[in-house]
Amino acid sequence: MNTIRYLLFDLDGTLVDSSLTISASLDYALDRLGIPTAGHGPVSALIGQPLLDIFRKQYEMTDTQAETAIAHYREHYERLDQAGTTVYDRVRDALSALKDQGFGLYVATVKPTDIAEKVLSDLGLSVYFDGVAGASRSHERRDKASIIAHALQKFDLDPLQSLMIGDRDQDIFGARENGLPCIAVTYGFGSRGELESARPEHLAEHAGDIVSLLMNPSGTL
């Protein structure tokens, strides 16, 4: 625990609840393509996956169709301008406390970097972070493991001093692939069963638990 100096946070489901914004943007994209929106089920099951994979796998679109859907999705997402997206309880206090303790704070997200930066800025969270590493617009870098690897390289972070914090199993697996421990938050979009099956180093019930774990030298990480 005492060796951790750099914290990589997931965005959707960890820092912010963006389910309403994402659901509205997804419905808009599907409607523009003439696809019924009632059949996609709970949007929480899709959040955290790259858009290209959602449209290709969930809706069996061709690459061309998926690219068109992504364009419609982002058009509406940008128009909403964070309407429907809220910062989770205790997140601001947790980020402030961690920053005050000298941790380097970063975001590692499947959102493209520029979109993630705008979300953080619009919601007043950018002041806490030292950098943002997101997916590439061209889709080559879109899975969580490659995004975490990109963050480590981009910001010259030592994996032995870094830790991932996220709400889905891909955050845990991506962290492990890069040699990082992970705190999984249970208040996001991943179910407790999903998270426990992925075996994170610790679970956090709320953002305050993240601070407690990192400040407690006898913690389990």
Determine phi and psi for 78, rounding to 5 degrees. Answer: -65, -35
Q: Which residues are catalytic?
A: 10
Q: Which one, of 82, 81, 35, lies nearest residue 60 by Cα? A: 35
Q: Which long-range contacts (CB under 8 A, 24 or more apart) does 77-80 make?
A: 77/21, 77/22, 77/25, 77/115, 78/115, 80/21, 80/24, 80/25
Q: Which one, of 17, 44, 43, 12, lies nearest residue 30 by Cα? A: 43
Which DSSP helix (H) or strand (E) runs through 213?
helix 207-215
